[in-house]
């Protein structure tokens, strides 16, 4: 994050959400240590009223979960949309994810009751809560899977993405998506990859995705790929320093194709690697692979969940 909110002209807000037991308390402690004003379980209807006043001299982190007094999926999505449209608010939605089996284990260890299953097994509440949060998860700007993270690891991730510093950094998110499901929320730049050869029509590649070496090689063998990617790099290496100089904290670059599985994923993977090797802070997210529950293929560029049919 940058210190641009110090202009006092707008609110910088992080909505922290995710299933109970995924690490929200740890995330709040980390954000509080970083200087954020932390407020948990504020009724959704009161959040816009909180932001009607003069901006604080520090950013705000708000908890958003099923325990909020007037919580509903529809109300939460409407709130996110309303805040996104508000010119006085800079919004980030942080979703802390976790595998159901790990959540079950955590509840068994702590012997706590699940807020949606106080009289029955936590597994029922976990399943119900995850279903309620599906649409909110799809709106997340940052998605961190805590399944294999210790509290120390999660704190390090929060520090990495949300630490305020006088040394401005630009956090770049490279995402793939399917045009069938529309553009991702909050994307800054969009590039259409449907002009490239489609591995979907190759039987041996159809069930693979753009992270696979054979699929990537097929996409890059398209006669138009080299010129396209060279121009893309040339443009971004002009624009990124300019965005940084302007004080921008986050930039999202989207690549779309027909189904979000092959072409967009392959191009997003290649660009993320190039940017990371050039020293930029990069995360990847493949929306359609994530939606289908494809297992992430982590490679060290980022711990943000990487999960995009094309």
Q: Is the pTM of this model over 0.95?
A: no
pLDDT tens by residue, 127-156? 888 888 999 998 888 899 999 888 888 888
pLDDT tens by residue, 208-233? 999 999 999 999 999 999 999 999 99
Asked if 104 and 120 touch (Cβ cutoff 8 Å), the reply is no
> Helix, strand or coil for residue 105?
helix
Percent above pLDDT 70 for the chain = 85
On average, the pLDDT of the chain sits at 83
Report all structural domains of the chain as residue ranges with CATH numbers, in order of start.
4-162 (3.40.50.300), 171-291 (no CATH)
pLDDT tens by residue, 89-133? 888 899 999 998 888 888 777 666 676 666 566 777 788 888 889
CA distances from residue 65 to 41, 242, 273 in whole angstroms, order as listed = 7, 37, 34
Cα 143 to Cα 132: distance, rounded to the nearest angstrom: 17
CA neighbor of 175 nearest in space, from 31, 23, 310 = 310
Cα 194 to Cα 301: distance, rounded to the nearest angstrom: 26
Cα 13 to Cα 50: distance, rounded to the nearest angstrom: 11
């Amino acid at each position: 994050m940058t210190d641009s909110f110090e202009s006092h002209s707008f609110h910088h807000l992080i909505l922290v959400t995710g299933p109970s037991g995924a690490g929200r308390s740890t995330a709040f402690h980390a954000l509080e240590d970083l200087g954020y004003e932390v407020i948990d379980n504020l009724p959704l209807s009161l959040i816009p009223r909180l932001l009607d006043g003069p901006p604080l001299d520090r950013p705000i982190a708000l908890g958003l979960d099923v325990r909020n007094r007037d919580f509903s999926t529809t109300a939460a999505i409407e709130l996110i949309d309303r805040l996104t449209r508000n010119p006085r608010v800079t919004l980030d939605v942080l979703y802390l994810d976790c595998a159901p089996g790990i959540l079950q284990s955590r509840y068994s260890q702590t012997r706590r009751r699940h807020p949606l299953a106080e009289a029955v097994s936590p597994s029922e509440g976990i399943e119900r809560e995850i279903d309620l949060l599906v649409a909110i998860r799809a709106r997340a700007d940052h998605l961190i899977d805590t399944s294999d993270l210790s509290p120390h690891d999660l704190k390090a991730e929060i520090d990495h993405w949300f630490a305020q510093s006088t040394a401005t950094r630009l956090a770049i998110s490279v995402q793939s998506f399917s045009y069938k499901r529309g553009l991702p929320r909050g994307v800054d730049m969009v590039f259409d990859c449907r002009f490239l050869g489609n591995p979907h029509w190759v039987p041996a590649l159809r069930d693979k995705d753009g992270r696979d070496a054979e699929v990537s090689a097929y996409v890059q063998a398209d006669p138009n790929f080299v010129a396209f990617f060279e121009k893309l790099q040339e443009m971004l290496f002009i624009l990124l320093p300019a965005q940084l100089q302007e004080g921008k904290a986050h930039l999202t670059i989207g690549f779309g194709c027909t189904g979000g599985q092959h072409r967009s994923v392959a191009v997003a993977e290649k660009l993320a690697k190039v940017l990371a090797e050039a020293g930029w802070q990069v995360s990847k997210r493949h929306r359609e692979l994530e939606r289908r529950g494809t297992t992430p293929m982590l490679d060290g560029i980022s711990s943000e969940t990487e999960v995009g049919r094309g």
